[in-house]
Amino acid sequence: MKSILSYNVNGIRSAVGKGLIDFLVEIDPDIVCFQETKAQPGQMHEDDFKRIGYHVNAFSAVKKGYSGVAIFSKQKPDHIEYGMGIEKYDVEGRVIRADFGDISVISVYFPSGTTGDIRQSFKMEFLFDFQNYLAQLRKTRTKLVISGDYNICRLWIDIHNPEKQQGTSGFLPEEREWFANFVADGFVDSFRVINQEKHQYSWWSYRAGARQNNKGWRIDYHMLTDNLTDRILDAKIFQDAIHSDHCPVWVNLDF
């Protein structure tokens, strides 16, 4: 078995200060995919994570205090790939891949389009370029776990008040259409294999009462190539873990 945790920590230093390491000791995932580390190498409490048994691999943005992804794992990866080979995304530190035997785990931080039209266009370009990157990768690495913050709610049950949110970045029709095509391309939403309930969210606005009233969005996923569907043993969202405006999402796979 391999348990994989994905967590947009909205600053790894801040999350460590809120008890992240104690949480990882308690949950004890084999692999942790972080997004939005907002830190450079040497700034991520690496020694503390190594002390609790993790190999540390990170890909930071060129811009300090921005974006950044990482994969921490109990088992040393066979290979690490930094970025997706497209400079405009790689300078933002959005993709890192670790290979374990015949399975590759990717930590990905999709762009947000909430700051305006330019970044929304950048986000849409990323969606199609990332899907093309995966299509090329699947020619040699056929079993993929793509964990991270997708910044999109896939289904109507993945967002509170969906009727009013259709004009909001993260729930735009074209974003959900991309996600539907992504699934049709041979990827499975591991959480929804296990749990079809409503109100299962992984991010809440900092606006007053959003988290307390569970007015959230499910935008963090472990998407798997469909040849791994029968390997899914369990999946859950740790909504009570509060180190970030996101919470961790977890999948247990038979590796």
Active site residues: 109, 149
Question: Which residues are 27's β-sheet partners?
Answer: none
Helix 173-184 vs helix 117-137: angle between axes, to the nearest 10 degrees? Answer: 0
Q: How far apart are the first and last CA of the chain?
A: 6
Distance between CA 56 and CA 39 in Å, rounded? 13
148 closest CA partner among 239, 221, 72: 221
70 closest CA partner among 16, 120, 124: 16
Q: Are 15 and 9 in contact (CB under 8 A)?
A: yes
Separation in Å, CA 235 to CA 3, 6, 14, 106, 152: 9, 11, 26, 17, 19
Six-digit token pair at 11?
A: 């600053």
Distance between CA 233 and CA 24 in Å, rounded? 20
Six-digit token pair at 181?
A: 């095509």
Distance between CA 191 and CA 57 in Å, rounded? 25
Q: Are 142 and 225 in contact (CB under 8 A)?
A: yes
98 closest CA partner among 162, 158, 34, 47: 34
